[in-house]
Structure formats: C-alpha cells, structure tokens
Structure 1
Amino acid sequence: MSENEFLAERFEAHRSRLRAVAHRMLGSTAEADDAVQEAWVRLSRSDAGAVENLGGWLTTVIGRVCLDMLRSRRSRAEEPLESGPVVASEAFDPEQDALLADSVGVALLVVLDTLSPAERLAFVLHDLFAVPFEEIAGILGRSPAAARQLASRARRRVRGAPVPDTDLVRQREVVDAFLAAAREGDLEGLLAVLDPDVVARSEGGVTSGAVAVAAGARRFASFSRVALPALVDGATGLVVLEDGRPERALTFTFAHDRITVIDVALSPERVSELHIDLV
C-alpha cells in the first residue's frame, strides 16, 4: 500500500463524522461534501505524519472550512426563493438525526440559520460533537471563554425556539393562503401567514425576516400559478410539475399557525430524492 493510499484509508475512517459536522454547520449536502473534500485536500498537502491526533486535526480543519463558507454565504447578497435549491429537507444520517432530536429538539435547524457563523460553530462543535472549547477557540481565533460565551448564547436561542405545529389540516390552510397571496403578489397576505422571523433557505444563502421572504415569494408568482398542494417527505408542501414530473418542491415548517421556514428544492437530483404525494 502506497503512502497516499494509507492516508486516504485513515481519512475514510473519519469521513462520516466530518460529513455529520459539516451537515450541521451548513445544512446542505452539496456544501457538506465540498467541505469534506477540502479537508481531504488540506490533509493530502500537509505533513500528515506529524499529526498525532488525526481526528482532532480533521475536526479543526472542517470547522475552519465551514466557518469560511458560512461567512462567505453571509457576505453575498441574499437570494430570492427561486434562485437556488434549498436542501434543508434532505435526509441526514439516522444516528445523527437521533442525536439531534435528543440534544436540542426538532426546532434546531430553524434556529441554526439565525445564528452568526461563530455562534453556530461553537454550538454545533461543542453541544453536538463534544469538541472542547479550547479547540473551538483555536478555530475561531478567540479565547476559550469567548467560545464558551458564543455557545451559551446560541444554546439560549435554541432552547427558546418554538415547537413546530403538527396539525396537517391547519398547515394546509396556511400554505393555501400563502399560495394565493403569492399568485396575486399580495404582500399583506403573505405577511399575514409568515412568522416575523421566518427564514427561506437555499444554497445561495438564507433570507431572513417576513418582509424579505415575502418579496422573494412574490417573485415566485410565475411558478406559484402552476404549483400544486403536496406532501413532500410527509411534510406540508407545494410542487411544480413539468411534463407530469416534479420540477421543484417547497416544504414548510410552522409554529403558531405561521410559516417559520420555507425549504425549496430545485435541482433534479434533489427533487428526485424527495417522496412527493399530490393531495
């Protein structure tokens, strides 16, 4: 076995954990895979023989890569709803989903998108993956006390997250109202069904706030005219068909009879992975 093959074998032993960290940090399969690939590139270019704790070294690298990606995402202009695929509804590893539910509840992914990149990294690495604050501080370029404070602040926001509604009948009524308002370009109608802190997620970035999301929804009007009610992976959603096949899909998260998250899948690969039932 060559030295490069041996290094690749060692890296593969850590891939699932790195991918789980990247998923929680980025909320996107494509970006998580890009981050893992970048970690491999950095490892292959390093003096790997001098690395005593490869798992810790790789966690630090994936953390820095994800932090850079989150900061870059925030520095770009926010994208409208139809500008790129949203992948927050994609399936994660079952073990990691169980860990997620046990740790912070079902509202985590909603809240993570409202945290700053530094808060998100500190919370995910420490609370979900037990990375010591001393290591997190090195990634952030801050003191351990500052890293602890960032995680504490994020934790308080997560604990205060509303529990999503589960009444499918009421959810459908809210989505129907959202769809009607989008078709008419009715800003007030959209604001009436959107939570003030609603987020719309895409690979291009996260749009936050009811006014910004409503503006994006109004630009979705041309597609909303042909959107159909559907269950998308069991969740209340909408689907647009082209030649009888799903071309894009929206899923919604709710709290207190308002929409708190809108997830949009546009790429053929993502849409094909979704289980869609017209209703």
Structure 2
Amino acid sequence: MSSPIDPSLSAIMSERRQLINLAYRLLGSLADAEDVVQETYARWYAMSAEQQEAIASPGAWLTKVASRICLDVLGSARARRESYVGEWIPEPLPGRTDWAAGRLGGAAVDPADRVTLDESLNMAFLVVLEAMTPAERVAFILHDVFRYSFAEVGEIVGRSPAACRQLASSARRRVREAQVPRAAVARQAGVVRDFKRAWEARDIEALVGLLAPDATAVGDGGGVVSAALRPVEGAPAIARYIVEITRLVPGMAIVERTVNGQPGLVAVHDGVTVVVMAFDVAGDRIQRIWGVRNPHKLRSWTTD
C-alpha cells in the first residue's frame, strides 16, 4: 500500500505551473524557464526542515527565488544574444500553454495598465520585452502581469518600490509604443489561412496583397540551420523569400497551429517541424512575421 502524499510537498509542487508561467515570460525560453524552476526547487530542498517550516509563504519564497535567478539569467543572456548568429526570437509555444495559474492575493492594478496572461504570451509582446533592461522586464512582468505590489517587486529586485514603479512605467511605455491595432482573433485566423493558401500556391501577388507594404519578416536559425541573418523588409521581398522556401524544401506541409496563443503556421517536412511562424495582423494585413527554424527552440513541437 502506497503512503499518502505529503500535503506540504503537494503544496510546494503545485507552484510549479505558476513558476514556469512566470519564468517563460521573463526569459522568452521554455528550456531556460524549466532550468530556473529546477534550480529554485533545488534551493528549497537544500534547506533543513526547520528552515522550510520557518517560511510563512512557501509560494512567495519560490517566486522570489525564481525571479532573482531569472534576473541573473537575463544579465548573462544579453551577452549570449549579442554573439547569437542572426536574429534572436523568443522560443515559440504550441497550443494553449498558458495555464492561467493567476496570482493569489494579487495587488490592485489600474485596469488601464493591466496586461492579461493571454496578452503577455503573444510573440509581439515577448519581442518587445527583449528590448527592456533585465530590471525593467522583471518589474513589469511581476507587477503588471502577475499583480505583485511594488513593495514585493522591490524586495525581489533589490530596489525601492518607487524605483520599481519607474521601471514598470518605462517598460509600459515601450509596450505602448510598439503596439499596433490588432485584428480580432477570428479575423487574424482568416488572414493567416489566406496566407497559407497563397504560400502553398506560390502566388506572390496574393502574398503581397496580404502583407502590409512595410511588413517585416524575421527568421531565427541560431546558426544551426539557415535563416535570413537580417530582417526581410517590404511585402514583395517577403513574398519572394517565402516562395523560395517552398522551392528549397519540396514536400513541405504547412499546417495551421496556435502559436503563443495566436493563429500561426507550422511547416513540417518528413514528419519533423522545421519552421514555426507567428504573425502580427493589423486590420486585414500582416505587419510582422517571426519564423523560428532553430531546432533547439522547436523541441516542444510535435506534428499532428
């Protein structure tokens, strides 16, 4: 007869989903997020039982430790990404991988400044986060997304609540400046579906018609596989580049999938996911495309 699960262990492990949610948004990498969470639990279990029992809120302790580890990782990640071959794009997530674990006892946040968990998952949002300093990113995500008070954020990042308020305000301004008026999800799905059909038909004219004139496409191969080292700009250039991909990889199947909570496309060749594409759709036109080809970032993808 198996022994019952220790309630305290169950409570500690139930925080894992929340920690992954947080760490992914802070780092833009599921692999790094999982490493951070593993390290966080290692530090918990390195303490004695007496030390653990002295912690009033284990969940808050785990979040604080994970956030501090993320802050350190972000500092080193900036240096790594400066030497990254080509463009760096956050790791794409398949399907609905935001479990909306929420924030227990969350702080009051002005609804005008509130970012939902769903919004904070999409690729456009994550790309904006990449332009922030580590401190800005942590303060903004903890406060505006996960509803921690600035006093709590200050304790985590080692700054005053007023300084954290300024960091979050600066980050919020970056997000507003990068925002475009996005179409409803159903409309986005229709535009992406039309793009898929035009891509399969190698119809350059149709592709150009679906792209904003100043559209930008960014590819991430990470030096592991070939990808455009610089963004491709302008509808005609993007259309030609997309069609060229199908010529270079005959037999490639293009599948509609949800990418970071938004309508996207996945290219599969010989049963292997070779490209994951996320889109930013404004009105009836595609404004931005992010194409991830780095196989290290596609490990969580499986073919249907």
- TM-score normalised per structure 2: 0.63
- Give the equivalent residue in structure 2 for 1:187: none
**C-alpha separation in 2, matches of 1:92 and 1:37:** 19
Counting only pairs closer than 5 Å after superposition, residues 9-88 of structure 1 correspond to structure 2 as 9-46=10-47, 47-76=51-80, 77-80=83-86, 86-88=91-93
* Contact 1:118 1:140 survives alignment (8 Å): yes
For 1:230, which of 252, 255, 258 is the aligned residue?
255
Deviation, structure 1 residue 63: 0.6
Amino acid at match of 1:237: L
Change (3 A) 1:39 1:262: same
Residue in structure 2 matched with residue 95 of structure 1 by the alignment: 100
Q: Say if 1:84 and 1:112 are closer, same or farther in 2 by CA, change over 3 A.
A: closer
Change (3 A) 1:164 1:107: farther
Q: Secondary structure at the match of 1:91?
A: coil
Match of 2:280 among 254, 258, 267: 254
Note closer, same or farther for the CA distance 1:270–1:16 as it changes in structure 2 (3 Å cut): closer
Select the structure that is richer in helix. Answer: 1
Q: Given the alignment of the two structures, is residue 270 of structure 1 paired with residue 300 of structure 2, yes or no?
A: yes
User: CA deviation digits over 1:102-128, x for unaligned, max 9?
Assistant: 943665432233232222211111122
Looking at structure 1, the residues matched to 253 and 182 of structure 2 have their Cα atoms a distance apart, in angstroms, of 23
Please state how far the C-alpha of 1:90 moved relative to its aligned partner.
5.0
- Higher mean C-alpha displacement, 53-62 vs 257-266: 257-266
User: Secondary structure of 2:84's match?
Assistant: coil
For residues 76 and 167 of structure 2, the distance between their equivalents in structure 1, rounded to whole angstroms, comes to 20
* Distance in 2 (alpha carbons) for counterparts of 1:87 and 1:134: 32
Counterpart of 2:255, as a letter, is: A
State TM-score, norm by structure 1: 0.68
Aligned residue pairs total 247
**1:184 alignment counterpart:** none
Correspondences of 1:204-223 after superposition (within 5 Å): 212-214=230-232
Residues 104 and 130 (structure 1), Cα distance of their counterparts in 2 relative to 1, 3 Å cut: closer
Decide whether the 8 Å contact of 2:24 with 2:33 is kept in 1: yes
**Contact residue 257 and residue 263 of structure 2 kept, 8 A:** yes
Q: 1:149-168, aligned counterparts within 5 Å?
A: 149-160=166-177, 161-165=179-183, 166-168=187-189
**Aligned in 2, Cα 1:151/1:29: closer, same or farther, shift over 3 Å?**
same
What is the CA distance between 1:225 and its match in structure 2? 1.8
Give me the whole-angstrom Cα distance separating, in 2, the residues matched to 1:37 and 1:224. 43
Question: 2: CA distance between counterparts of 1:158 and 1:96?
Answer: 23
Relative to structure 1, the CA distance from residue 90 to residue 68 in structure 2 (aligned partners, 3 Å threshold; closer, same or farther) is farther
Match of 2:138 in 1: 121
Partner secondary structure for residue 271 of structure 1: coil
8 Å CA contact retained: 1:228, 1:240: yes
Structure 1 distance, partners of 2:220, 2:29, is 10
Distance verdict in 2 for CA 1:40–1:169, change over 3 Å: closer
| Residue number in structure 1 paired with 2:269 | 241
Change (3 A) 1:69 1:38: same
Larger radius of gyration: 2
Q: How big is the shift at 1:222?
A: 7.0
| CA deviation vs aligned residue, 1:59-114 (integer Å, no higher than 9, x gap) | 11111112222222221123436x999324453234359xxxx9436654322332
Question: Residue 90 and residue 264 in structure 1: after superposition, are their counterparts in 2 closer, same or farther (change >3 A)?
Answer: farther
Aligned to 2:106: none
Q: CA deviation at 1:232?
A: 2.4
Gaps in structure 2 of 5+ consecutive residues: 1-5, 103-110, 203-210, 223-227
